[in-house]
Chains A and B, each alone.
Chain A
Amino acid sequence: MKKKILFITAIAIIGLSSCSKDDNSSNENISDVSTQALKDFVNVLGEPLYADFVTKATALNDAVVALVANPTAANQTAAQNAWVATRVIWEQSEGFLIGPVEDDNYDPNMDTWPTDKNSIDSMLNKNPNMDDSFLDNVDDALKGFHPLEYYLWDFKPETYTDAQKNYMTALAANILDNTKALEASWTTGGYGNEIINAGQSSSSFTSKENALETIANSLIDICSEVGESKMPEPFNAQDSTLTESPYSHNSVADFKNNIQGAFNSYKCSYNGTTGKSLSDIVQINNKSLDNKIRQAFTNAISSFSALDNTTFELAIYNSRSAVQNIIDQIETLQTLLSNELIPYVQQYIKD
């Protein structure tokens, strides 16, 4: 009997000591993976995405210039498509609203809602020949994606006035200016290095944990924005006019790309390239949590497919259970990230 107890004790001790050995090695491993995850976040996701944003905004600018020069239905459709393509990148970039995009107000500069139609009219009366730099200092509701959306969808191309043409040209150029400045803020402006050098004196991030927790929190923030604000506001009020991309009816794609952008950030994946990520860090000590988070992302993103053949404006009246399901899936994801990912990051990333 005594022998048995000794034997059990021995096994227990071995078990415990091997556990602690594992912990040590995984801590070292976590440190290395964290370093790589921060590098990849910049080199695989952040900078390539912002570079794409410039490319798409350049195409949008070209399309608007072509439309203004030759206001045909075909050119308007081409400009609409370019607008939608640019929105994909922008909405995905909102999966990590950290750094210059937030500090320097790129979001309100480019994506303010609603559109101030009265002030646009009076501005066009006073400044019919404006250019893009003129827009730098006008109120947020007079520039960015939504006023351009308004003119691309709600007007027949042959009815554009000269002032409206100048305004559309200025709007597209101003969006392009913003995307270029945003891209540069990560590369030459050094925000990419801030992230990569987290924990060193040259970075404002006090530790790698601090930087990774910031990224993790930005996933929660976008879930909150979509799941607690952008979707429920029109849905609860049953008022389609509260929808954010009302002229193009692009809101479903906007929301889905927001969550897709957050998933891209979690697994550090962009345009077919994948790097080390928060997901890899979680896998080291808690594979099941990583699986749960990936599944929650997949569930939230795939739940949008119920709205494939409708618009958000119609869905809030006609597909209420599908919309409610999306909101619920995003809430589940957000709760999981708040209650399990953040504590994991705080517990295991030690430098």
Chain B
Amino acid sequence: MKKLCVMCFICIIVSVGIFCRKAENFPESNYNTQLSGGAATTFLSNSQSFGDPVSGLGTYYAYVQSVGDNIFSQTFVSAPAEHFGGLGTIYNNVSCVSCHHNDGKGTPTLGDVNSSLLTRISIPGTDENGGPLAAPGFGLQLQDKSNNGSPEAKVTISYTEIPFTFPDGETASLRKPTYTVTNPYIALPANYMISVRLAPPVFGLGLLELIPEATILSNADPDDANNDGISGKANYVYNPYTKKKELGRFGLKANTSTIQVQVASAFQQDIGITSYIFPQESSYGQSQYDSRDDDPEITDSILNATVFYSRTLAVPARRNVNDSICLEGEKIFKQIQCSSCHAQSIRTGVDVRLPMLSNQLIHPYTDLLLHDMGDSLADGRPDYLATGNEWRTMPLWGIGLFQKVNGVGKDFYLHDGRARTVTEAILWHGGEAEKSKQQFVHLSKSDRTALLKFLASL
């Protein structure tokens, strides 16, 4: 009996001990600050650093990833073709990689071979799901190429340089784009609205998809109840696959809820490739429609592999994390409230199939919420709950590698790539970010340099 008591006592102590340990949080300071993507971090810091698969996938998943990788860089051709047919008949580019250069951002031009900009279009009002209202004869996106008749339209850009001088005399120049729709194949509807957007990097998406909705909503403050001038609003968007309204996480206005819909929509709208999610050609009902009975043009498994590829690209590790100037810059980043929207640390939820994405402390530098960014950046085109002034906070992870991934002098920032440097990108901030921008402008030169050095380490 005595023995039994002792045993029980020991068991209780041990289990209490275990519970205590479970409840304890591992202090954040003990994490390696290099690991922007937690276990889904890659240590590549070259041009391929956005295209590295997460490690630990295992043979089967690694195979699916590699199939998706090949599809991502595959050029599609016009139908009928022995392989990879179905391009168009209206489209913006011929492969995923022709816009997402090295899985990153591409070139802010329209209609060229290596152009990475696309143009969304709609007319005032909303559709039955609360989304933007399609422009009759054009849909929700202008396809500026066609292999079967006329492109829907061409879009031209002209930039006006706006000089800027810091209080300490340093100068910068902001190029303000004006977009003009030309050569529409039929008359454009009155009051049409356009939004020009640059292809964003595709790494780390699986982590962002796994952030619990409650975590994202806990940062939202749509009515600015805490009076800090920064609201943060969740977008709720229609998912054509689940046929439900869901929290928007992807796209520059958070107008897409899942990677699956994002990828399928890019296939259909950007390349003209139909799939089980979007089985109808984007040209349906228009003069460019091919009437071919070949949809969906990619098999379910090919779409799924491409989705899996996009879900499992690792996040590049930070460099120079212990550099004293970088650490100073990080302090300033928080002091001037950049981190109010560009949230530094978030924990992902659980996915037992992919432990490297699951329950990870990550540093995406986004809250995935919509913020009013001021009139200068506004596109004036609402997208579900996002107003014409609102944009989703862009993740900043990897921003220091844009030049590596896209080439020297070919790093572009913001939703349409108008900014040629990080400084220009900051100077374009307005609306809820106006106060932070003003503080940036009034920093000493050395503090600005420190902040930029910190950003370059991401």
Residues in A lying within 8 Å of B, measured CB to CB? 98, 100, 102-105, 108-109, 112-119, 122, 136-141, 194, 204, 210, 213-214, 217, 221, 228-229, 233, 241-242
Contact = CB atoms under 8 A, between A and B. Distances in A.
B4 to A, nearest CB: 54
15 contacts: A103-B406, A103-B407, A103-B410, A105-B101, A105-B114, A108-B97, A108-B98, A108-B114, A112-B75, A116-B147, A140-B113, A141-B77, A214-B46, A214-B47, A241-B83
Interface string B398-428: 0000011011101000000000000000000
B98 A116 contact: no
Given A105-B113, A140-B94, A229-B70, A210 B78 contact: no
Nearest to A215: B46
Contact of B113 (A100, A102, A109, A115): A109
Contacts of B78: 116, 118-119
Given A102-B47, A118-B80, A210-B46, 9 more contacts: A98-B46, A108-B97, A119-B78, A137-B113, A139-B94, A139-B113, A139-B145, A229-B69, A241-B82
Given A103-B407, A114-B84, A221 B48 contact: yes
Contact of A119 (B112, B147, B410): B147
Interface of B: 44-48, 66, 69-70, 75, 77-84, 87, 94-95, 97-98, 101-102, 112-114, 145, 147, 403-404, 406-408, 410
B66 A103 contact: no
Contacts, number: 87
A116 B82 CA distance: 10
Contacts of B403: 204
A137 B114 CA distance: 9
B83 A242 contact: yes
Contacts of B95: 108, 140
A154 to B, nearest CB: 14
Nearest to A123: B147
Interface centre among B79, B94, B145, B406 (most CB of A within 10 A): B94
Contact of B102 (A102, A113, A139, A204): A102
A122 B114 CA distance: 22
Contact of A114 (B48, B70, B77, B145): B77
A119 B77 contact: yes
A116 B81 contact: yes
Given A98-B47, A140-B94, A103 B408 contact: yes
B281 to A, nearest CB: 16
A114 B112 contact: no
Contacts of B80: 118
Pick the 8 closest A-B CB pairs, nearest first: A103-B407, A116-B77, A118-B78, A214-B46, A204-B408, A119-B78, A105-B114, A112-B75
